[in-house]
Structure 1
Amino acid sequence: MNYPQLLFPDFSLILCGYLLCRHTALNRTVWEPVEGLVYYFLFPVLLFQSIIKSPLDFGATSNLMAAGLLVIAIGIALAYALPWLPWIGRHIDARDHAASSQIAFRYNSFIGLALAGKLAGPEGLLLMSVLIGVSVPLNNIGAVWPMARHANLGLARELVRNPLILGTAAGLAGNLLGLHIPVWLEPTVTRIGGASVPLGLMAAGAGMQLGHLSRAKTLTVAMLSIRHLLLPLVAFGLSRLLRLEPLQTTVLLMFSALPTASSCYVLAARMGYNAAYVAGLVTLSTVLGMLSLPFALGLLR
């Protein structure tokens, strides 16, 4: 599998947004409304569509789903624990930590689905869809909580108002009720959701300021180490503990080593945090995915 080739489109879109914002008339005044469009409309539609069309077979995949949720939960716990570590915490800015915690456990679902289809065929694609479907609620709650808590916004209010969580909840409710998007409406919904990824990545590039990474080196190394080293090791251990089948193990390892989600930047920007720093982390995570995916699927598998 050519991982650089698989990840290059995402990286190139981030670079494109960066260059357009810095060297053309398409400056920040253009990209700020784009961030709002992606956050409040495009991403929620994408989440709703992705979840409602993914069949959740709780019987055949219960161990895999448990492993996926544990990978996310452990990622959240590790990210949240960083300020409390005596040798790391004193070098971490509280606001930057609140905004960047999501980097450690969120993932790029489009790369995951593309990779699963190429490596494991239709069955692997289905298993990846199931993992994404069950983990999105926990992911979004884990991403929103530290920012809402640090800004004293009230977790319940932020969760109820968060468009990503509303899209997720609506998708899960529709899935469990057996609802489907009407055939005549599906192409429109697909195009709306599909537009969210390139625009979200370009917006991340437009908001990127790499200088912020050099001022938070400890936090940067810690978050990316959790995302690209520790979580694949956790997934490997869980696959052995829960005795997953070979295909399920492959999909879980793939799931654990994905680059972080491009929507991390948009969420941080909309909640008033240091989005430029988060955009830099998204870029670095996309690059590091070229190393963590071969590590998980080659060495660990």
Structure 2
Amino acid sequence: MVTAALFKTGASCDEPSCGATVFDCYSPRVNYAQLLFPDFSLILCGYLVCRYTALNRTVWAQVETLVYFFFFPVLLFHSIIKSPLNIGSATSFIGAGWALGLAGIALAYSVPYWPGLGRHIPARQHVASAQVAFRFNSFIGLALADRLAGAQGLLLIALLIGVSVPLMNVGAVWPMVRHAERGLLGELLRNPLIIGTALGLAGNLLGLSLPVWLEPTVSRIGAASLALGLMAAGAGMQLSALNRAKVLALAVLTIRHLLMPLVAWGLARLFQLDPVQTTILLAFSALPTASSCYVLAARMGYDGAYVAGLVTVSTVLGVLSLSFALGVLRAL
């Protein structure tokens, strides 16, 4: 594994060249709310620009499409291929990521069976919104991992995204697949995140690398994807329609922002992850849900407006859950 760049927010080493990783210098005094501010300020900028300028939702829908289908896959590909990958040393980390995803899916679909909740959970709303409990906002995850651990953080989060996207897409699409225009396999094979990750892994394992002259272009595309992706997440926020199923909303958001970080904390110890892997897994577990949740729900004939409301609240709650995961659970 590559060594993380020294990150000295709230902590320091005597010498920058001491060879320590970012979390050898970890201090519980790190202000994670301050660390998260740049990313969430971009989300706020996207929201304000979309609501109060001529750059309305129509414009940002196109930006989101560009980022999702081009910029973001390029970033994933570059993050994976540029750093030598030791699959053997990452086995436990990948296993923890899969276990976290499976736990989230199981919790999400168990909600109607929670004592006293069954009669308050509309079945159709649940099928559409269960995905909110376990899917994640990759834009925020990549931006945060870069700030937390540089190249090593990007490599680890890219691995998690690569192994989790197929699993969580199956978990989200399977209950709604009868309404899809394409079959489940087609949905997965056409997913740009899966394609970018698969190509990056193949290139890495084959020992390939990008030509030096192409590196600056690809790096700038990756940087643009993070800023535009975060602003697009803010532009897509809505609060309408949440009154239709308040108990369901509370349940899925509790899973996303409280139970998932707790599960990740337990898995990090079960799989004996190192400090950097633990922190990236905790950050991953506490991310806001995917902004594309409402797109999927609407495309398959469900209540997209309700899911959009959940996405909006989840984006705001991400500040709290990430601070909880990184500032409280990480220190235990």
Measured against the shorter chain, the TM-score band is 0.7 to 0.9
Letter in 2 for 1:163: P
Identity %: 72
CA deviations on 1:33-65 (whole Å, 9 max, x unpaired) are: 333323332333233333333543222232222
> Is 250-259 or 263-272 further displaced after alignment?
263-272
Query: Is the contact between residue 6 and residue 111 of structure 1 (CA under 8 Å) also seen in structure 2?
Result: no
> Is 84-93 or 170-179 further displaced after alignment?
84-93
Partner residue of 2:318 out of 289, 296, 300: 289
Matched residue count: 301
Displacement of 1:234: 1.2
The aligned residue for residue 217 of structure 2 is 188
Query: Is the contact between residue 3 and residue 290 of structure 1 (CA under 8 Å) also seen in structure 2?
Result: no
> Is 143-152 or 199-208 further displaced after alignment?
143-152
Change (3 A) 1:38 1:239: closer
Distance 1:269 1:191 in 2: 33
CA deviations on 1:264-291 (whole Å, 9 max, x unpaired) are: 4565566676555444434433332333
Change (3 A) 1:206 1:176: same
The aligned residue for residue 264 of structure 2 is 235
Displacement of 1:207: 3.4
1:300 partnered with 2:332:
no
The aligned residue for residue 37 of structure 1 is 66
Displacement of 1:161: 2.5
The gaps in structure 2 that reach 5 residues or longer are 1-29
Letter in 2 for 1:34: V
| Superposed counterparts of 1:1-301, under 5 Å | 1-83=30-112, 85=114, 87-93=116-122, 96-109=125-138, 111-112=140-141, 127-151=156-180, 153-264=182-293, 274-301=303-330
Change (3 A) 1:12 1:278: farther
Distance 2:131 2:244 in 1: 19
Give secondary structure in 2 for the equivalent of 1:59.
helix
The gaps in structure 1 that reach 5 residues or longer are none
The aligned residue for residue 5 of structure 2 is none
Letter in 2 for 1:32: A
Letter in 1 for 2:93: L
Letter in 2 for 1:186: E
Distance 2:264 2:83 in 1: 22
Change (3 A) 1:35 1:122: closer
Query: Is the contact between residue 141 and residue 165 of structure 1 (CA under 8 Å) also seen in structure 2?
Result: no
Greater helix share, 1 or 2? Answer: 1
Change (3 A) 1:153 1:105: same
Distance 1:272 1:185 in 2: 42
Query: Is the contact between residue 162 and residue 194 of structure 2 (CA under 8 Å) also seen in structure 1?
Result: no
Higher relative contact order (CA 8 A, sep 6+): 1
Displacement of 1:67: 1.3
Higher Rg of the two aligned structures:
2
CA deviations on 1:107-138 (whole Å, 9 max, x unpaired) are: 34565556556666776665555444443443
Distance 2:181 2:83 in 1: 36
RMSD: 3.4
Change (3 A) 1:203 1:166: same
Query: Is the contact between residue 282 and residue 325 of structure 2 (CA under 8 Å) also seen in structure 1?
Result: yes
TM-score (normalised: structure 2): 0.73
CA deviations on 1:198-231 (whole Å, 9 max, x unpaired) are: 3333333333321223333223222221122111
Displacement of 1:75: 1.0
